[in-house]
Amino acid sequence: MIIVTGGSGFIGSALIWRLNQLGKEEIIIVDDFKGKEDLSGKEKEKIIQNEKWKNLNGLKYADIFDKDDFGHMVSSDFLKNFEIDTIFHLGACSATTENDFDYLMRNNYEYSKFLCEKAIENNIRFIYASSAATYGDGSKGYDDDEGKLQTLKPLNAYGYSKHVFDLWIQRSKVLDKVVGLKYFNVYGPNEYHKADMQSVVSKAYMQVKWTGKARLFKSADPEYKDGEQSRDFLYVKDAVDMTLFFWDNRIVSGIYNIGTGEAHSFNELVKPIFTSMGKKENIEYFDMPEILKEKYQYYTKADISKLRNAGYVNEVAKIDDNVTDYVSNYLDTKDPYLS
């Protein structure tokens, strides 16, 4: 039996899709479908997550539980009653603009500690999602050497909530028993429920479809021209393959970067969209919101030498090919989901 928290989310549902392709169906999905209610604003705002169920259409699994209910079940020794092989802990609040620090810490830190302790107690493989947001502005580099964890300073509360769990793993001396995955900028099918947190590819596709042009942030840093801000963009299919490497290789543990090892500009990212859609290239640059300027990453590039040294040999597809696959085989079809 395999447990996937965040199993109806973006990377989680893609992981289950791949597991199904490998003949694995004894999967328990754990997720939060309730959304978050913010009572501090002028008006009660609910972030609807119910659209995530669409990611599950066509997938095969044994059962599905609400994350809070599952927490109570685990507290009541649920894990001891089943032969659980692995927990993929991918569930979290992943909004980089979230400013409810208490909410982030309860979801991304406390819940993660709880599951990790229970997994170790029951000798279950624990593979969890960290984030490249832990690297902050990148001034300390993007080296996943655990010895450098203490030097990192995330730029937002989301990144910090992930960072403090990495630090807890190190402080608790369980690095040799778990795997932490620092995902870089993942994009691809099944991200549609993420609203503003969808990738630039998904957003730009819709912009090109309805207006004929893609919109990108202007650069507020003179070292970067408009649209030349660069990130390590990782296709979700590659992210899943890298994740499953640690499922197949149980002797490998520690914290690893999950990326391509290359940096591409946003201009490079959106140009294949026009080609795939048979449209003339047309990019409009607009001012970055003030709230983002101090927290914006202008450059990320995963150092994946540690991943390669651990034995991961699969080649990562070129960005043009991945964007083309996403647009042609998913976004521009009647059924854009992995199934």
DSSP string, 156-174: SHHHHHHHHHHHHHHHTT-
- For 255-311, how does the pLDDT look when each residue is reduced to its tens digit (9 = 90+)? 999 999 999 999 999 999 999 999 999 999 999 998 888 888 899 999 999 999 999
In 3-state terms, what secondary structure has residue 45?
Answer: strand
Q: How far apart are CA 320 and CA 327, in angstroms?
A: 11
Which residue among the candidates 61, 111, 158, 235 is catalytic per the annotation? 158
Q: Is residue 120 part of a domain?
A: yes
Q: Is residue 287 part of a domain?
A: no
Of 181, 129, 182, nearest to 4 (Cα)?
129
Q: Quick one: tokens of 163?
A: 């960072």
Say what the pTM is: 0.95
Q: What is the structure's pLDDT at 294?
A: 83
Domain with 57 in it: 2-188+233-261+301-317
Is residue 36 over pLDDT 70? no
158 catalytic residue (yes or no) = yes
Q: What is the structure's pLDDT at 35?
A: 61
Q: What is the mean pLDDT of the chain?
A: 94
Residue type, 243: T
CATH number of the domain that 52 lies in? 3.40.50.720
Q: Quick one: tokens of 174?
A: 């369980």
The answer to whether residues 65 and 29 touch, using CB atoms and an 8 Å cutoff, is yes
Per the structure, the count of domains in the chain is 1
Q: Is residue 278 part of a domain?
A: no
Which residue among the candidates 24, 34, 60, 194 is catalytic per the annotation? 194
Q: What is the structure's pLDDT at 43?
A: 38
The answer to whether residues 239 and 185 touch, using CB atoms and an 8 Å cutoff, is no
The more confidently predicted of residues 44 and 134 is 134
Q: Is residue 149 part of a domain?
A: yes
Q: Is residue 324 part of a domain?
A: no
111 catalytic residue (yes or no) = no
Q: Which residues contact 63 (CB under 8 A, 6 or more apart)?
A: 28, 29
Q: How far apart are CA 65 and CA 91, in angstroms?
A: 12
Q: Is residue 274 part of a domain?
A: no
Q: How far apart are CA 323 and CA 327, in angstroms?
A: 6
Ranking 96-100, 135-139, 228-232 by mean pLDDT, the lowest is 96-100
Q: Is residue 237 part of a domain?
A: yes
Place of tokens 């894990």: 79
- How many other β-carbons are positioned within 10 Å of the β-carbon of residue 162? 27
Length of the chain, please? 339
Q: Is residue 296 part of a domain?
A: no
Three-point CA angle 80, 84, 86, nearest 5°: 135
**Please, which pLDDT band fits residue 37 given cuts at 50, 70 and 90?**
low
Radius of gyration in angstroms for the set of CA atoms belonging to the chain, rounded to a whole number: 19
Q: How far apart are CA 140 and CA 122, in angstroms?
A: 36
